[in-house]
A and B are shown apart, each in its own frame.
Chain A
Amino acid sequence: MTFAIVLNVLAEGVLTGLVYGLMALGLSVIFGVVRVVNFAHGEFTVIAMYATFVLFQYFRLDPLVILLPLAAAFFVIGYALQVAIINPFVGRAEHEQFILLVGLAIIIVNTLLMIFGPDARPVLLPYAFDSYAVGPLIVDKPRVLSAFAALVLAAALFGFFRFTRTGTAIRACADNLVGAAVVGLNVKRLYAFTFGLGMACVGAAGALLVAIADASPSLASTYTLLAFIIVIVGGLGSMAGALLGGVLIGVSEALAGFFFLPSMKSMFSFALLIVVLVLRPRGLLGRRA
């Protein structure tokens, strides 16, 4: 009996972790290529969550329907952001990038706070209480759908980087910036494209996260930190690492919430981060820089 419960907790952690992984994937892609640390990552995620909430509340659109259009919209936002604000900061000191994006994060959080207030806004899916029974496992339907969608999107992104010309060009920029410029790649445009892709992950993850948490402004900094922990645990710049890190953190959160207190769950994530940083500073699947 207890074993079945623990198994259920584990399954929940894995499913949640995959969605976290998709969000962190955005951060990893942006850092891996543009070398800018997006300290407003969680803030953008929460914007996507609120967008999903509004579209669901007023137009009765299912988050899974909203998913792709929202990802597309966030791609445009990311592209514009990179072109308008972030490009001049590429290659500048880390603390300068940090200030720029923290400024942006503060603006986002407080604008959301003014519009929606501090209360959490739940998205009450009609199938919120449906579940699948697989042997001793009983898993929530919304979580399963979200995790599945996250996996498909991550695979699509992976395929894009591996098999398309633009994807290959972006990888070239990440591997050798000077070389990429020498062979005539438009680095600035590719950077903007990459930032857009990273933000598309954020948009999609935001739409999927409403099945896991209620949208609230206070989630923003939590998610920024969460994305950082995941990416560092998995290895900055490694796409598979981001997903693996997401699953690890999801499982550690679920177990900590079950065996200890839900309020202590991020303590275990931070402990995991410290252990990984000390033992393997480049992350589990990260390459030596």
Chain B
Amino acid sequence: MADEMDNLKDDDALAAELVLGLLEGDDKAAALRKQLADPKFAQAVAEWGQRVDPLYQEFVPHEPPSSVWTAIESRLDAQETPASHPPDETVVALKRWRSGAIISGALAACLALALIVGPTPNVAPSQPNAVAVAQLTGEIDGLVLAVSYNPDTAEMRVDVDGMPETETEPELWIVGRDGVPRSLGQIGRQGISAMTVPSEQRSLINAAAILQLSMEPPSETPHAIPSGKPVASGKITII
């Protein structure tokens, strides 16, 4: 390690590197997850964003051809975006989950979702790879889960922070449009867990879905239904 006088603290340097775009691949994905999971780090990223903000003035404007706007409109027409506006049926379905769980506040609070386009050097140029991300929060102070999912590998990574001591184990569920929670299995109590999402549940990972965490008795196999109300939840964003 070089002398401290000349170096930023590690997190601060990482925040600056993320803002400048110096990171790639796993390093970038890890930094983006950290931005979701760690408010202090997110603040450092915001501060570096403000420091370099004036550089944006140096980009020279250039009029794009009118075909670009036409293309944007047809893409939006094609999607008719459930992404930014959860359909009512999802909310209704959530209310069915166990004794009308009090979720609305948590839902509103957990919409801090990041744009991540997967670091995939080998994909076709026209289709940069989409990655799904979500941040889960709930009523437990300090409990935050940052989730990212790579559709190429079907790998889901969950970064858990702030899990209190309990006799139960955290289990992750995905709730699709039908409102039925399906278990993705139990995850680690702290730090990063990686899992391969079962093939029958991959199609559920879309922008209309919600991830939820419940506390369950320890089990090697996923439970059929959650035994209690979720302790954290978050909506999926796919970019």
**Do they bind each other?**
no
